[in-house]
Amino acid sequence: MKRIVSISSEEDDSHAPPATIHFADNTSLTIPFVVYSPYTEVPEATLELLSDPSLSAIKESLNNPNPMTSVPMGEITATGLFQKANVDGVYACGNASLFMSTVVMAMNQGQMAGAGADHEIAIEDYAAGIAAATATYRLLILCNNFRKMSSPEAYTIAQVPLVAHSFSPDRSAIALSTNTNEAQIYARQGYDWQPVSTLAGHDKLVTSIDWAPTTDRIVTCGQDRNAYVWTKEADPSSPSQLIWKPTLVVLKINRAATQVRWSPLENKFAVASGARSICVCSFDEEMNWWASKQLKKPIRSTVLCVDWHPNNVLLAAGSADAKARVFSTFLKEVDKKPPANVWGDKFPWNTVCGEYSSHAGGWVHSVGFSPSGDAMAFTSHDSTITIVYPSGPAVITIKGTTLPYVTLTWTAEDALIAAGHDCQPVLFSGTASGWKAIGSLDDANGPRSSSLPSSVSSPRTAGAVGGGGGPPVGRLNNAAFNRFKDADSRGQSSIPGTPSSPGGGLFGGSATPGGVTGGELMTLHQNTITSIRPYEWGPNGNVTKVSTTGVDGKLVIWSVSAAAGLAPKIFVR
């Protein structure tokens, strides 16, 4: 315990982080962020530096709060700016001699906001008061863990394109396809990721990876027309060590496998392939391998993407014949008869429950069911996103003003995030009556350029009137465009070296334009985002964080609420 004399900030009186705490014994401590509150019961000021700087530790400490320091969450939900969904917890409050009762909240891990009983007291007022007051205070300090709420966590994993990624159930490790025939597992070590194991088995490029959240098994598929299921087993040579052991999958396809996804119950997985088919695989105990059954009709071209309906039977698939379809994958050996839903009432094997064309003939890059499974969205190479409500029936097309999106994930029943060649994830929101772009997750820090799609969508049949309403967003002035313009007008080229990759990379060349000055994109990702996946869920089941990997070799974890307009600007005076 140390007595606190004052708290100061480098930025004059703004109390923006980092802040310096000055103690009575003439020592000081600079911290990236502080939360403090009047704490009238303790005679001495206390400084608590939590050894575990995670939110859970703080929440733990709040589970036994001083009666005077707790305020029910309900009281702060009405403020509008601080909606309950955005608030992780009430950290402290109280009535110091000089203040009114005040609440400090943490917004989505890291970002702090102050709100008084009158919902007006800002965190700056707090600090000023503390500096002047003689009352004692309790401090909760968030170290290391500090990020501005809207700031994404970015890691450069490798100088090669990342084709696919999937996190371990506890998010401490990530399986990556680093554009080679071997999948890599990286483990989080501090603020960094280090390779810990290699999944070697494929002869050609690993195209997709999926890590089952419950059974902790990894499935990979590759251009060598194979898939493997990897399970953790004791190493025969040193039993204390765990190694990943592959189990054979009998696919029987004559073209590359393009994407693989576990079903929700993790007793099946689907492999999309260039053989105009989808392999639905289940485990054959007798043979000790994964056997497959193929969905072929009426697919006319390479299947590029699959996604499971929560009922474990329906499967959405998008293909290069510019169609997204919903199939039944009912296997009587493994599945129970699913109840009727918006897609139909009977689901024998290979029933086509829906077939939808992309708006302007673009091949379908990515499909996804909404969390309930009652809607499906797909992105296609014609820069559009199509959302299908079979119960409507309504088919809504969002016409993008940017380059095509190649990957998408739903974050809530009425929201999804898409990313792709535009190098930034964009949040879209809407219902069966219409969808629109909310904003880029990569837009939080102002100066970054962004070319948001603004075209307002409406059901396709209505003859959408879009593009005219918003600002002139489609200008040829986005970062990617400027890069090529520089190459043209100033001779700044970014022709990277081409490290060879066994099996031939999906994306030629190195990930970043090494040594190129002025060629940097204004977005965090410096090249196409290849994969976006949910990373963290909030208490209401909505996705609060998503992870992306890209051709630039970067892994980025984004806060969904960072989309422009959703993030309250706390430190802007």
Q: Minimum distance between the CB of residue 436 and another protein, rounded to whole angstroms?
A: 13
Closer CB to another protein, residue 18 or residue 472?
Answer: 472
Q: Single out the residue of 89, 246, 474, 496 in contact with another protein (rule: CB under 8 A).
A: 474
476 in contact with another protein (CB under 8 A): yes
Q: Minimum distance between the CB of residue 398 and another protein, rounded to whole angstroms?
A: 10
Closer CB to another protein, residue 321 or residue 443?
Answer: 321
- What is the per-residue binding string for another protein in 553-572, x denoting contact by CB under 8 A? --------------------
Contact 387, 435 (CB under 8 A): yes
Closer CB to another protein, residue 364 or residue 417?
Answer: 364
Distance CA 257, CA 273 (A): 4
Summarize the chain as % helix, strand, coil (round to 5): 10, 40, 50
Closer CB to another protein, residue 177 or residue 294?
Answer: 294
Contact 188, 200 (CB under 8 A): no
464 in contact with another protein (CB under 8 A): yes
Alpha-carbon distances of 35 from 67, 114, 178, rounded to whole Å: 18, 9, 41
Which residue(s) pair with 279 in the sheet?
A: 271, 294
Q: Single out the residue of 301, 494, 501, 542 in contact with another protein (rule: CB under 8 A).
A: 301
Q: Single out the residue of 210, 307, 321, 335 in contact with another protein (rule: CB under 8 A).
A: 321
Q: Minimum distance between the CB of residue 95 and another protein, rounded to whole angstroms?
A: 54
Q: Minimum distance between the CB of residue 401 and another protein, rounded to whole angstroms?
A: 3
# residues contacting another protein (CB under 8 A):
39
465 in contact with another protein (CB under 8 A): yes
Distance CA 187, CA 61 (A): 28
Q: Minimum distance between the CB of residue 250 and another protein, rounded to whole angstroms?
A: 23
Site for another protein in 480-539 (CB under 8 A): 481
Residue 417 φ/ψ, nearest 5 degrees: -120, 130
Site for another protein in 258-277 (CB under 8 A): 276
Closer CB to another protein, residue 150 or residue 402?
Answer: 402
Residue 397: closest CA among 343, 354, 437, 427: 437
The structure tokens listed for 445 are 């820090």
Residue 133: closest CA among 103, 102, 98: 98
Part of the chain binding another protein (CB under 8 A), chosen from 214-222, 248-256, 374-382, 498-506: 374-382
CB 277: neighbour CB atoms within 10 A?
Answer: 23
Which H helix or E strand runs over 489? Answer: helix 479-489
Q: Single out the residue of 259, 383, 523, 527 in contact with another protein (rule: CB under 8 A).
A: 383
Distance CA 493, CA 215 (A): 47
DSSP codes of every residue in 243-279: EEEEEEEE---SS-EEEEEE-TTSSEEEEEETTTEEE
In the 8-state DSSP scheme, what is residue 343? T
Q: Minimum distance between the CB of residue 449 and another protein, rounded to whole angstroms?
A: 14
Residue 314 φ/ψ, nearest 5 degrees: -80, 145
Site for another protein in 385-414 (CB under 8 A): 399-404
Part of the chain binding another protein (CB under 8 A), chosen from 47-55, 223-231, 457-465, 515-523: 457-465
Q: Single out the residue of 3, 300, 485, 569 in contact with another protein (rule: CB under 8 A).
A: 300
436 in contact with another protein (CB under 8 A): no
Closer CB to another protein, residue 213 or residue 470?
Answer: 470
Q: Minimum distance between the CB of residue 297 and another protein, rounded to whole angstroms?
A: 11
381 in contact with another protein (CB under 8 A): yes
Part of the chain binding another protein (CB under 8 A), chosen from 49-57, 89-97, 244-252, 465-473: 465-473
Residue 441 φ/ψ, nearest 5 degrees: -70, -15
- Which residue spans within 95-235 are E strands per DSSP? 102-107, 111-116, 137-141, 153-156, 164-167, 173-177, 182-188, 193-200, 206-211, 218-222, 227-234
Q: Minimum distance between the CB of residue 475 and another protein, rounded to whole angstroms?
A: 6
Distance CA 175, CA 110 (A): 27
357 in contact with another protein (CB under 8 A): yes
Q: Minimum distance between the CB of residue 252 and another protein, rounded to whole angstroms?
A: 17
468 in contact with another protein (CB under 8 A): yes
Q: Residue 36 contacts by C-beta under 8 Å, 6 or more apart in sequence?
A: 7, 92, 104, 126, 127, 130, 137, 138, 139, 140
Site for another protein in 200-259 (CB under 8 A): none
- The binding site for another protein (CB under 8 A) comprises 276, 300-301, 321-322, 357-363, 380-384, 399-404, 451, 453, 455, 463-468, 472-476, 478, 481
